[in-house]
A = this chain, B = another copy of it.
Amino acid sequence: MTNRVTIRDVARYADVSMSTVSQILNGKANRFSNDTRQKVLYARDALGYVPDFNARNLITNSVKTIGVIVPDIGNPFFSTFIKSIEFLAMEQNCISLILSSNDNQELERKHLEQLINRSIDGIIIASPSIGQAEIDNQLKKNRIPYLLIDQNPIADGDRVMTDDFNGAELAVNHLAQLGHRKIAMIMAKKPSDNLKRRFFGYKHALNSNGLEFDEKLVISTEMSKIGGMNAANKLIQTDATAVLTVNDEVAIGLYHGLNLLGKSVPDDYSVVGYDNIDLDEYLAPPLTSISQPIHELGATVFKKLIERIKNPDLPQTEIMLPVKLVKRNSTKKLS
């Protein structure tokens, strides 16, 4: 329909063969005389030739595209992660295809299928709901290089994670140092693997601070602002004076819930969040939180995936990145 300019047109215009054009335009220009090179380049510009992506990919069998599946693009942690991947990808003229699964398994399955259809070069899985079955049936079968980040329980494949266990420990240590003896944790109802590690870290740190683990101080809720809000009601029925939330979003909900119940942070409850999102310092009071090295995570993940794509037979690696505590005003000495 359209009069797309093809390599044939360029060849004709420059009065050379198609393969000459192809080679000159693909980094093999030094094989040719200066004269021919000029002619071809000139013809390309005169005609405004742009190589057809599909035709080229059909041959080279690469689409210069990697997929990224995240659970929720609206979560600041993931949007930051994505930005960092996107930036790195673009440096390599590669595009990142972002898919947000939004807790919709059906959608996620379709997403994955689409990615495979497009014979994507590799895929980063940051969503906990991709299971072993999908990995086996879809990815491995089609030999798609993939990499898991910490959400996912699957052991099979490269992984990059952050030290969730230690993150929770840091939080609990901080609260214990402030004199808190009754430290609650607001946990996810359906925890992904990294969240479970946070829970273990919490338990372990209680122990190492000489505090007793009390099941009543573990409150399960949805991983959302509403979940956090609802947790407030349960929290005030305990004798806790401090609380670690499974992430910052839940902490934001908790703030609101406590507020509605007439409770104050940090006077009635010291709160530590997890993720250290931008928003934390703007909350009232600014939220103490555990910071994960998101950009480093992005960079490591991207680098590892590229390595894997280049060399599928590399041994599997597992990388653990350190986290740190960022103190703000949501925690205070127990008086």
- Interface set of A (CB-CB < 8 Å, partner B): 2, 48, 50-55, 57-58, 61, 63, 73-74, 76, 79-80, 82-83, 86-87, 90, 93, 95, 97-100, 102, 107, 110-111, 114, 116-119, 141-143, 225, 229, 252-253, 255-256, 259, 278-279, 281-282, 284
Most buried by B among A51, A119, A141, A229: A119
From residue A170, how far is it (CB to closest CB) to chain B in Å? 25
Q: Which residues of B contact A143 (CB under 8 A)?
A: 2
Q: Which residues of B contact A252 (CB under 8 A)?
A: 279, 282
Chain multiplicity (copies): 2
Q: Which residues of B contact A83 (CB under 8 A)?
A: 73-74, 100, 102
Most buried by B among A90, A111, A225: A90
5 residue pairs of the A-B complex, CB under 8 angstroms, read A53-B119, A54-B57, A54-B58, A73-B79, A86-B99
Known: A97-B97, A278-B225. A52 touches B48 (CB 8 A): no
Contact pick for A53, options B79, B86, B118, B282, CB 8 Å: B118
- B110/A90 in contact, CB under 8 A: yes
In the complex, A52→B256 CA distance in Å?
51
Q: Which residues of B contact A119 (CB under 8 A)?
A: 52-54
- A50/B284 in contact, CB under 8 A: no
- A87/B73 in contact, CB under 8 A: no
- A253/B282 in contact, CB under 8 A: yes
Q: Which residues of B contact A95 (CB under 8 A)?
A: 97, 114, 118
Q: Which residues of B contact A256 (CB under 8 A)?
A: 281-282, 284
Q: Which residues of B contact A90 (CB under 8 A)?
A: 107, 110-111, 114
In the complex, A220→B100 CA distance in Å?
35
Q: Which residues of B contact A52 (CB under 8 A)?
A: 58, 119
From residue A217, how far is it (CB to closest CB) to chain B in Å? 24
- A51/B284 in contact, CB under 8 A: no
Q: Which residues of B contact A87 (CB under 8 A)?
A: 107
From residue A195, how far is it (CB to closest CB) to chain B in Å? 21
Contact pick for A76, options B74, B80, B99, B107, CB 8 Å: B74
From residue A101, how far is it (CB to closest CB) to chain B in Å? 10
- A54/B63 in contact, CB under 8 A: yes
Given contacts A54-B61, A256-B282, 9 further A-B contacts (CB under 8 A): A2-B143, A50-B117, A54-B63, A73-B79, A74-B76, A225-B279, A229-B282, A256-B281, A284-B284
Q: Which residues of B contact A73 (CB under 8 A)?
A: 73, 79, 82-83
Q: Which residues of B contact A259 (CB under 8 A)?
A: 284
Known: A58-B55, A116-B50. A255 touches B279 (CB 8 A): no
